[in-house]
A and B are shown apart, each in its own frame.
Chain A
Amino acid sequence: MAMTAAALDAAHDGLRAAGIDFVSGLPDGWQRPLHERVEIDPEIRYVPVCNEGVGFSICAGAWLGGKKPALIMENSGIRVASEYIARISLGTGVPVTLLCSYRGDVGETEHWGIPHGIVAEPLLQALRVKYLVVRHVEDLAKSIVRAKRIAEAQLHPAAVLVSGDCVWED
């Protein structure tokens, strides 16, 4: 299962409207189409990684060079990236927009997604990362724009967790 076609368009539109011009990420089942879309967008430099922590560091470095970065990943990747969110952003104040599949949200079908859903929000709160949970496609693009905006204002990451109607057509 992957994000719906409408959610894919909304997410891509949101990234572009937010001025995101640099994306790193590790694809997951839900957001795989977004990685494919971003990779061929001439306005966005796409850097695939095999580890979300490395992706976060790369995004932070790109910001220092004037880019507007986003890290696209499953919410399990928040755990991996948390080490570098703490070291880099809590320590020095660097903004990165995080766009995460919300595995384990209400409606989840896979047992392995449950732990991801248990940990994600408390971990974001511990890292002082403000976030929006988006369950309706019509909210997705503007939520990405707003997350990027506060990330830049507070010089610290902000996140969008994607779930609900963005992935399930039940």
Chain B
Amino acid sequence: MALDRYEWLGRLANRLPEDCLVMSTYIGAVSFEWGHHTEEHHRTAHLGQMGDVIGLALGLALALPHRKVVCLDGDGSVLMELGQLVAMGEQQPGNLVVFVVDNGVYESIGWSGQGRRPTATAGHVDLAAIAAGCGVPYTVDVTAEDELDAEIELAFSRSVCSFINVRTRPGHSHVRPRRTDGIEDKYRFVRYVERLEGIWITGVPPQDIALMKGKEH
């Protein structure tokens, strides 16, 4: 049993709390379809790539502990840097929920007559079990749509550091690639966070203006 990626990402997008932030990949089908489902809302940082999405989400969650942070990652990316799960299990931020699109293949690289190139989760590797072994408080391997509904409900109704691995059917993106690059995505997200939190992230902060002018300010 496995879920359809486009369909389940849409279901997650529809249930996303208004006040949460999202860290997602910025390349590949997950990013394209998430951007489509969310109408490119500014709450998602499409900034992660292979091996760093959970790390970025963890840092964001630790920086803003009052804010729910959702992470969208893929199995190939998680497998590339399993040390992220060690850090997640050590820190256990209650505001972080990781959803993994685990389709068991390297989808974005294309395929030939021999089929798609498998990831290790197509074999013996169980990402939810690894996350549990790293100390992540709540881990689950989802294989059915009704299970996913229950997990989404649970994830957004409590504050428990969670790793939700969603077994997903391989399949090419249902939508066009996104148009923006990492630079634009970064500024878009940062400006949103600045407004949301009332904080200063880029540019010269007021306390440094005096330094620029060489006098007290």
Contacts and interface: CB of A to CB of B under 8 A. Distances in A.
Interface of A: 22, 24, 45, 47-51, 53-54, 56-67, 69, 83-84, 87-88, 91-94, 149, 152, 155
Q: B60, B64, B90, B197: which has the most chain A beta carbons within 10 Å? A: B60
Interface residues of B, number: 40
Contacts of B51: 53, 57, 83-84, 87
Nearest to A69: B59
Nearest to A64: B60
Nearest to A51: B83
A11 B83 CA distance: 27
Chain B contact residues, majority secondary structure: helix
A58 B83 contact: no
Contacts of A45: 62-63
Contact of B63 (A57, A67, A83, A91): A67
Interface of B: 23, 45, 47, 49-52, 54-64, 67, 81, 83-84, 86-87, 90-91, 182-183, 185-186, 189-190, 193-194, 197, 199-202, 208
A149 B47 CA distance: 23
Contacts of B182: 91-93
B81 A54 contact: yes
Contact of B190 (A49, A57, A64, A67): A64
